[in-house]
Amino acid sequence: MAVKIKTQYGTIDINNDVIATVVGGAATDNYGVVGMASKNQIRDNVNEILRRDNYSRGVVVRQEDNGVAIDVFIVVGYGTKISEVSKNVQQKVRYNLDSMLGISANSVNVTVQGVRVLAD
């Protein structure tokens, strides 16, 4: 599916993969986020830290009437305050979607699927 934006010059279609990439980039740009986690934990059987260049595997985009709903699955670093990291991810995702794509996010749900101890 895609988000359709109508302008005076025509229609702009933004694919969900593009939205997922923007969301993944915004999520991993926050302090405390180590990486994106697998969104289907049962199939993968373990929390898997994904490469930084594959943002869309940890993001689910759902179309709604007047915007989109975003689910973000992340892994945070040990010693960070999970609630603050999650709130920062929500704010950054909303800002990037609005400023880069002109899309309003109705909800941004952050799921922390793991905590990783970082080597010094």
φ, ψ (nearest 5 deg) of residue 62: -120, 135
Range from 6-10, 39-43, 54-58 that averages highest in pLDDT? 6-10
Q: What is the pLDDT of residues 5-39, one digit of tens each?
A: 888 999 988 898 899 999 999 999 999 998 888 76
User: Tens digit of pLDDT for each residue in 61-118?
Assistant: 998 877 889 999 999 999 999 999 999 999 999 999 999 998 889 999 999 998 988 7
Q: Which two tokens stand for residue 12?
A: 């702009």
Token pair of 93, please? 């995702």
- pTM, two decimal places: 0.83
CA-closest candidate to residue 92, choices 25, 20, 19, 26? 26
